[in-house]
Every structure is written in C-alpha cells, then in structure tokens.
Structure 1
Amino acid sequence: MKTEFASPIQYYLIFEDDFIHMNQLLDKTIGIHFLKYQCLNCGEDKKIFRQGFCYDCFYETARAGDWIMRPELSKAHLDEEDRDLEYEKKVQLQPHIVYLANSSNIKVGVTRKTQVPTRWIDQGAHEAIEIVEVPNRYLAGITEVALKEHVADKTNWRAMLKNEIEDVNLEEKREALKQFIPEEAKEYFIENNKETEIEFPVLQYPTKLKSLNLNKKLDYEGKLKGIKGQYLIFEDNTVFNVRSNEGYVVNLEIK
C-alpha cells in the first residue's frame, strides 16, 4: 500500500488504472479471495517464493540481491557487480539514512533517504529519528552492523500490532549510540534533529493475532478495524500483511 504522511497516516491500495483510499473502508466488511500468483519480475503464474518473486527470479533478479537485506554487502561503490551493476549503482549510490524506529521496541535500520518517512510507516513505528545520512548503501550498512551490537535490528510485529508500545526519548538514545558509529561514517552524524511521531488509523487493536495466509486460506471475509504498518487489522483479530503478499492476485470485495 502507498502511504501519505498525515495524522493519521493515509493508505492507498494502487491498481493498474485505479486506487482505493483504504482509510475510507474502516468499519466496512472486506472479502479477500485468492485468484492466482503473478511474479513481480517475470509476471508468470508461478508460486511466490520470497519478496514477491518466484523461486527462479528470486535468485536471478538484481532486485533480490543479498545486499537488499544486508546493506553492508553493497559493492557498487567499488564498481563491482553482484547481479546487475547498472541497477545496483542506481540504488546503492544515493543518500541513505540509518535511523532508530520504535514500533514495539527500539530498532536500528537502513533506508534510502527518499523512503523517509515511508519506511518507518511500513514498519508500524510510532516514533523514529535519523542518526546518519551517508552517500551510499555500503556506509549505511556497516553503520547498522556496528549499532545493532547495542540495539535491536528487528521489530516484534505481534507487539506492534497489539499496540504494546513504550515511548522512548530517541534523541537521547541516538546520542548514546554516537560513539559506536564507524569512523568512515562519523562525519555524517546528524546533529539536533527531532524525532518524528506517527499516528495510524486504528479503531480497535487486536488482542490475539491470527495471521491470514493465502497459501492456506484462499478466501477470507472480515470487518476492517485498522491499518498499521503494512497490515490490515480485522475485528476477529485476523491480520493481513499486504506487503508480504506481493505477487498474489486477489479479488477484493467491499460490502
């Protein structure tokens, strides 16, 4: 889902020639019916393996290289190719942000500067702050590796969806972590910025979570009670991760 930074966050489900403003569907009953697979790379009806790609494409496309999940493996700044140097230069050789985000706990992460605050919204963070802004993905990656020795790099998605959160002074936490930034990235430390606060459109948080898996349940219907991160939250405690179901073609029924 595409997002717009507002209070609360505005969500849009984009189609080839149309879109749905998802906030308007709160308290409405929605049916999700699986139709087929469609790999994000080859477009074929082949079972999705990871990240919206079929098995073959996941191991071939540059959009699923190891450096995506592990930025410290980026090599475009050395003019070295992983799968497609032109694509890797385009993505890796641009400003990146290392940040702290608080979704269920404080975590450190990496994103392209153009993805701020979208990345924080997608993670369901209710507050976030930048630590460094570096010129390439490699420097962001080694900074993240250094900092995750002192702070988590994963979100507890269950606690995030239940809204089990604790407000933390991220400015103080950022200052405490400054000493652990690698020498190559110290000059890019961001001074005196403020944390960003994020509000999500949720009418009712779940108490027990049931994750909708389209591989096991082809049809589902429920009343939409909230949207947080990339999750749809339903009245019966079912949650549906839209992002993790990329590559699945569904029929969306609104009642």
Structure 2
Amino acid sequence: MLYQGVLRKMKTEMGNPIQYFMVFESDFIHLNQALDSTLHLKFIKHQCLNCGNDRKIYRQGFCQSCFFEIPSAGDWIMKPELSTAHLDKEDRDLEYEKKVQLQPHIVYLANSSNVKVGVTRKAQVPTRWIDQGAHEAIEIVEVPNRYLAGITEVALKNHVGDKTNWRKMLQNNIEDLDLVEWREKLKTHIPEEAQEYFITNNTETQLNFPVLRYPEKVKSLNLDKTPEYKGVLKGIKGQYLMFEDNTVFNVRGSEGYVVGIDIR
C-alpha cells in the first residue's frame, strides 16, 4: 500500500508492546502491523514544519530562518535552565513561553543504553521515555515550572549522564539497573529550591518495544545521501525503524522530509 506525507516524530501508545503510528495529513500507518513487511521509502522534497515551504531542513524539522525565529525552537527547549517565563521575561514570545514553561515538569532517570537524567513536561510521560528508547524509567521530582526542572537536571548531570548511546540502545546492549537506588543516591544533589518536590513513593516504569530482531551492526539511513531505500522492517524502538540488513532510520531526525512509503 502506498502512503505519502511529511515526516513527523512517530505517535505512540503505551502497551505491551508499545504501539507506533506514522501520521500524515490524511492517513496514517500502524507500524506494528508492518513488521516483517518490505518498506520502500522515497524522498520527495523538504517541507518546513512551520512555514511549509520547500526549504532545506536545518534542525528539528524547521528551515533555518524559522528555527531562529519561532518560539518553539528557543534555546530553553534544549536547555530548560534558560527558561525565564516564571520571571515574566520574554525570550521570543512570552505568551507561548508561559503556556509551555509554567506547567508541571518531571525530572527523571531513564535507562536506554545507560542511566541518564532528563526533563519533560508531566503531560509527556511516558511518551518522552518511549522516544528515547528507554526500557525502564522513574520520576525523581515533579516541579511547577520548566526552570526548576532545568536547574535540577544541571545539578544532577554532575553525578549521572545526560546522553543516550543510540547505537548501544538500538543493538539492545543494555542492562537492567535499580533506578530506585539511583534516585535515592542522587537525592542529596537536588538543588535546595527543588528539594520539596522530591518523589519518594514511586516505582520504575518498564517499557517493551516491538522488535523481532535487533541489528548486529548499525547502519544509519540518511535521506539526503540515500533518497531511496527498500528493506524488511524488523523492529521499532525510540524513534527508529530497524531493518533486516542492519539499516536504521531515525524518523524524528528526518522531520520535515516529504516521503513516499510503499508497504508490501
């Protein structure tokens, strides 16, 4: 069956295993049902997720001019500690920044390739963990704004990692760790402003991904270099599609690319 549309990060639903959907303007693909099928991907053009123009994608699905102008690509997105809406101070659009920053945020530990600390809006749990390919995760603190989450993350990064080894994650080269023990160990390093928000009575969340076979060696598909690819889908983890020939495709990393997808 043939589909066409602009790539955005895959939608997910918590389940055993997690359910994945590739959503286009007028159609969608339930990717779990495509496992063991042949996918033929073909790059058609770029389409900025903000302005909609056919311009080369710069970052996060946006063309360069949009990336440096729109509020949803401000520096505080990647660096929550730079959030200023709680001070009534504008970065690019105060109304938008208040809407996003002044809501409950979670600082968490996730284990995908190793234990890492991260930040997400409470409404994005467990979606954020799924997108990172974590097989287990736990909340550490729940704070009322993004700034407090950011300074907590910065403090904890001195004692635990904040990056995922994506190759290791995709090869399932992982180990189960006691995240409750990690949480307790890190408690004393939480900034004073966030200490009262420490969560003491929760347990790990376990995540199971739809994978028939993990790649032995990882070969990354780049649509700019390889505009057309055909392979048998063997698994989905994080925001990656994994194929029989060890090729992996980062869907989120290709946001803003218009593609045709034939499934047989």
| TM-score higher than 0.5 | yes
Shift of 1:17: 2.0
Question: SS where residue 72 of structure 1 aligns?
Answer: helix
Alignment of 1:115-134 (within 5 A): 115-134=124-143
Question: SS where residue 151 of structure 1 aligns?
Answer: coil
Q: Equivalent of 1:88, from 82, 89, 97? A: 97
- Residue aligning to 1:234: 243
- Residue aligning to 2:179: 170
Shift of 1:192: 1.4
Alignment of 1:84-233 (within 5 A): 84-233=93-242
Q: Equivalent of 2:74, from 55, 65, 69? A: 65
Which amino acid letter does the alignment assign opposite residue 11 of structure 2? K
Shift of 1:206: 0.3
Question: SS where residue 81 of structure 2 aligns?
Answer: helix
- Residue aligning to 2:4: none
- Residue aligning to 1:37: 46
- Residue aligning to 1:17: 26
4+ residue stretches of structure 1 with deviation over 4 A? Answer: none
1:202, 1:171 → 2: CA distance? 27
Shift of 1:5: 0.3
Please give the TM-score of this superposition, normalised by the length of structure 1: 0.99
1:18, 1:212 → 2: CA distance? 24
Which amino acid letter does the alignment assign opposite residue 220 of structure 1? Y
1:61-103, Cα deviation, whole Å (9 max, x unpaired): 1111000000000000000000011110000000000000000
Alignment of 1:46-65 (within 5 A): 46-65=55-74
Question: SS where residue 91 of structure 1 aligns?
Answer: helix
Shift of 1:224: 0.1
1:162, 1:225 → 2: CA distance? 12
2:201, 2:102 → 1: CA distance? 26
Query: Which of 8-17 and 111-120 deviates more?
Result: 8-17
Question: SS where residue 16 of structure 1 aligns?
Answer: coil
Which amino acid letter does the alignment assign opposite residue 102 of structure 1? N
Identity of aligned residues (%): 75
Question: SS where residue 213 of structure 1 aligns?
Answer: coil
2:49, 2:70 → 1: CA distance? 10
1:81-138, Cα deviation, whole Å (9 max, x unpaired): 0001111000000000000000000000000000000000000000000000000000
Report which structure shows greater RCO (CA 8 Å, sep ≥6).
2
1:217-252, Cα deviation, whole Å (9 max, x unpaired): 100000000000000000000000001100000001
1:192, 1:77 → 2: CA distance? 28
Gaps of 5+ in 1: none
